[in-house]
Amino acid sequence: MITPLKDAWSCERIFWELLPGVRKYIAIRLKEKGYTLSEIGKILGVSKSAVSQYIGGKRGGELADWMKEVIDRKLDEGCADIMEIIYAIVKHPSFRRGWRC
């Protein structure tokens, strides 16, 4: 069961502020592991061009180190499901302490 967010983090904020940074970091990590732009695009549900922009730094913001650790842990577990990764970040205690973009 998903619990509602109790702070100012609405779904809209997560979509516009957190999701692009998560996609960028996942794209970079998957590229480092040898995935092609097309494969990464299919995993993330975006175009090859968007993947190129994420990797090139034209899209997506920077993430806190603890967020990168959460993503790395999920990727190491074999999970590339973007929503599962976002949920793991939102449930993390550091997020609840007021992480800001």
12-44 pLDDT, tens digit per residue, is 778 888 899 999 999 999 999 999 999 999 999
Q: How far apart are CA 31 and CA 35, in angstroms?
A: 5
Tens-digit pLDDT profile for residues 37-72: 999 999 999 999 999 999 999 999 899 999 999 999
Contact call for residues 29 and 72 (beta carbons, < 8 A): yes
CA distances from 90 to 42, 53, 87 (A): 24, 25, 5
Q: How far apart are CA 88 and CA 95, in angstroms?
A: 10
Q: How far apart are CA 52 and CA 24, in angstroms?
A: 10
- Pick the residue with more confidence: 100 or 35? 35
Tokens of 93: 């205690």
